[in-house]
Chain A
Amino acid sequence: MTASRFGSSGDGFGDAPRACSAGSGAFADYEVQERFYDELFRPDGTVREACRQLVASLSAATPEELSTLQEGVARRFIHEGITFTVLGATKMSEHIIPIDCVPRVLTAAEWDHIDRGLRQRLTAMNLFLRDIYNEGRSLRDGIVPADLVLGCPQYRVEMRGVKVPHDVYVAVCGTDIVRTNEGFAVLEDNLRVPSGVSYMLACRAAIKQAFPRLYRAQGVQEIAQYPESLYATLTSLGSWSGDPRVAVLTPGHYNSAYYEHAFLAGEMGAELVEGRDLVVHDAVVYVRTVSGLKRIDVIYRRVDDDFLDPVVFREDSLLGVPGLFNAYRTGNVVIANAPGTGVADDKALYSYVPRIIRYFLDEDPILANVETHLCRESDGLAYTLANLENLVVKEVGGSGGYGMMVGPHSTASEREAYADRLRADPTNFISQPVLDLSRAGCFVDGRLEPRHVDVRPFVLRGRDDIRIAPGGLCRVALRKGGLVVNSSQGGGCKDLWILRDQHPRDAPEM
């Protein structure tokens, strides 16, 4: 291999695959363990079919070349300021999202399974939300305990009977999917303001440039159309005589996902607004421009329900817009996602999703759930308390990896303290077994090693269709042995390649 491998003439990746396996060449330190599904290698160490070209290319590179590649993609993130903000004890700090240069690869067939499962799940969840804010059949029929829904802080009584455009409560969904030796499973649904899609797109832009020839040779499905799909989805939810004016409502640049809000607004050609930029007059929403107030038709809100409208929700909110909810219920503005969707992604309700799918669609769930114990139930609490060292315990309304306890990584005193919290407020917790998350190859500390990953695909529900970008935010726990993939907890991201064909093109036998 020559230095020109990384030059403008091409990366050299995409050359004919050569024989390689885990434990050899660049993968000398790569350990495949049967317990964890490995995304690159079979348990016997041979390369998975879809990853042959990738593994061959990586094997042919020297550690120095891989370092150069890794530094290149990381530098791109730094220069472009692809960041997230972490709330510390005393101040906010801005961090660059760690990116790993090795893409994860899924076949078209694997993706098709996920795609169908996501469509099914989102369809069911929208029907469920429509139901609980109107007739409540599913509650009366005991599909989901009524008190679980009606007692959930995210259930918004203000949404009772509100006519939601085309019954699309959740227009944008990000579902966390993990893979174990048993297959794919949904870890959690994010139906409020799911974030991460900008990192997915940024990862792709960086990795595409890093592996131009391999990317082309592998026949990777494109995801660049996501902003256009998002715009089409949002504007499909209303009827307009001209071009509707779309705004992305952000809490402001101190929010952890501000980069994403700005990115999406820029890509869609939408206004990026804060609450203070909007005014409601006669139940119509306007934005302050330099030439007066202009009407806003669609708001893609990235502000939690609580802060949307101080007249209706938290009255101390400075992030929202007084009168916004009234404009919404009057039908003068579309808000996506609708207020009140958080009730459906509560971690306690998660365990009922398979029943919800069966009830509303009369189908078996395509994607499995992870076994979940509800501490609100006495059996679930007892089991959780008895097995704390083997379980992951989460707050039902938590997110970002905050407030959870990973049993095997905890100390006895931490478990004791957590048990006290469980006993004090059991309804606030669920527990799940520690999953053997699949592992994908990462370039860490100058060598290729496996790390645990999950993936968050993004699903868009418009008036007439569901669109799913063939890819997702692949999150990776960069700490060796770590299971928490959240960026706020030391996780990073990597590109996810969904191949067009079931088998990569032109892949000679190894």
Chain B
Amino acid sequence: MLARAAADFYWMGRYLERTEQTARLLEYQLERLVDTPAEEVALGWRVLYKTFGHPAPPLPNDADEAEVFLIADAYTLAGTFVEDDTNSNSMISCWSLARENAKQLRPWLPVRVWTCFNQGFMWIRDCDFSRAWAEGPAALALEAIDWLRLLAGVVDAMMARDDAWRFLELGRFVERLQHQTVLLDTWARLGQPGEGPRLSWSDLLRVSRAYELYRRRRSILVRRESALAFLVRNPEVPRSLRFAVHRIERLLSGIDPKGARYPLAAPHRLAIRLAATVEMELGGDDPDPEGEDGSFSDLLRDARKLHDLVMASYVNYPVERGLPA
């Protein structure tokens, strides 16, 4: 497969995943506006900003200020993540960037995939955020998620399981691994017991679409250690770190079947090591982000390195290395 096209598929996967992450976090945050103490909602905004690497808005000093702050600014804050095209993580930015990639991939994309993608783009481009807000703050995020699920279904049904699909999926799961790692890290740090507002662990499970399974497998009572461990190593939760890293490992085996035997290609080697880390080092009942080994920080660093290795191995390799023998 053409190296540039592979990179475009990979980035398209990343942007689509990022759009969904933004939409999921927004949905969570906006649904809480109704009945959650204002200080906790303010903390939620902080998590959202931190997860996407933005400077967090200042926290209010007390509950009264928080109330004012929230009512006045929830619309603006949400708008930043929906329609602000200067924010590279906003839904419109991510979708636009994904579409730029998709435009360059039209020879590889089944027509129905492109059409679905384009219709979704036109929906978000043309949607009236203030009107959607009036209908219900979380409605827009939910509809965006529906569009993304529709697209995922069309991709699943229409695309061959070739390198194009593998790079698309690889992008999605590398993005998911990085994002979930940051999310767990943020939650673990801001969810420490103490004074003031705290994050709810059941909310973390909900945001990660793992709450129902957790309740069935573990308990309705959600403990910090148990929730973190569940989201790190449970192989059945699509947003667990283990799920993501195993998908990455399998996709890389398909992309580089020679490397899947020996010698292993560099990204594949790192993916296997990441899988081992998630299963063994972070696999205990109490993954501690503040621990001496800085588990989540190390994992995030390696996940970023994985991205660099994918680009260096399959896209930006030196010409002399690529020449036929």
Point out residues on A near B: beta carbons under 8 Å. 78-81, 253, 258-259, 262-263, 265-266, 270-274, 276-277, 279, 281, 286-295
Contacts and interface: CB of A to CB of B under 8 A. Distances in A.
A293 B324 contact: yes
Nearest to B102: A81
B323 interface: yes
B115 interface: yes
A290 B255 contact: yes
Contacts of A272: 2, 5, 104, 106-107
Contacts of B119: 79
A272 B6 CA distance: 12
A330 B314 CA distance: 30
A288 B115 contact: no
B163 A290 contact: yes
A262 B122 CA distance: 20
B1 interface: yes
Given A258-B103, A266-B106, A290-B1, A80 B111 contact: yes
B88 interface: no
A365 to B, nearest CB: 38
A265 B2 CA distance: 13
Contact of A79 (B104, B107, B118, B255): B118
A350 B289 CA distance: 75
Contact of B322 (A79, A262, A271, A293): A293
Given A78-B122, A80-B114, A290-B163, A277 B319 contact: no
B233 to A, nearest CB: 31
A266 B104 CA distance: 11
Contact of A80 (B5, B115, B163, B317): B115
A281 B323 contact: yes
11 contacts: A253-B103, A262-B104, A263-B107, A281-B319, A281-B323, A289-B2, A289-B3, A290-B1, A291-B1, A292-B317, A294-B324
Contacts, number: 80
A274 B6 CA distance: 14
Interface size class of B (residues with CB under 8 A): 20 to 34
Which of the listed residues A253, A279, A291, A295 has the most CB atoms from chain B within 10 Å of its own CB? Answer: A291
Contacts of B317: 288, 292
B1 A253 contact: no
A81 B167 CA distance: 23
B108 interface: yes
Contact of B4 (A80, A81, A276): A276
Given A80-B118, A253-B100, A273-B2, A290 B314 contact: yes
B159 interface: no
Given A253-B104, A265-B107, A271-B2, A292 B322 contact: yes
A293 B2 CA distance: 9
A290 B106 contact: no
Contact of B106 (A78, A262, A279): A262
B7 to A, nearest CB: 9
Given A273-B2, A277-B4, A281-B319, 5 more contacts: A271-B107, A272-B5, A272-B106, A279-B319, A295-B324
A181 B95 CA distance: 52
B59 interface: no
B1 A289 contact: yes
Contacts of B118: 79-81
Q: Which of A81, A259, A277 has the most CB of B within 10 A?
A: A81
A263 B106 contact: yes
B266 interface: no
Nearest to A81: B118
A294 B324 CA distance: 7
Nearest to A282: B323
Contacts of A81: 103, 114-115, 118
A273 B321 CA distance: 20
Nearest to B3: A288
B307 to A, nearest CB: 15
Interface string B117-129: 0110010000000
A289 B2 CA distance: 4
A290 B8 CA distance: 12
Contacts of A276: 4
Nearest to B319: A279
Interface in B301-325: 314-315, 317, 319, 321-324
A286 B104 contact: no
A457 B163 CA distance: 37
A288 B4 contact: yes
A287 B324 CA distance: 11
Contacts of A270: 107
B4 A293 contact: no
Select the residue from A272, A274, A295 with max chain B CB neighbours within 10 A: A272
A276 B2 CA distance: 11
B11 to A, nearest CB: 14
A257 to B, nearest CB: 13
Contact of B6 (A259, A271, A290, A294): A290
A293 B1 contact: no
Contacts of B100: 253
A262 B102 CA distance: 11
B86 to A, nearest CB: 17
B276 to A, nearest CB: 25
Q: Which of A258, A271, A273 has the most CB of B within 10 A?
A: A271
A291 B167 CA distance: 13
A271 B163 CA distance: 14
A292 B106 contact: no
A265 B104 CA distance: 11
B256 interface: yes
Contacts of A289: 1-3
Interface string B235-267: 000000000000000000001100000000000
A290 B107 contact: no
Interface in B96-147: 100, 103-104, 106-108, 111, 114-115, 118-119, 122
Contacts of A293: 319, 322-324
Nearest to A276: B4
Q: Which 9 A-B pairs have the closest CB atoms?
A: A266-B107, A262-B106, A265-B107, A293-B322, A288-B3, A292-B322, A290-B314, A272-B107, A290-B6
Contacts of B3: 277, 288-290
A125 B92 CA distance: 50
Interface in B14-50: none
A452 to B, nearest CB: 32
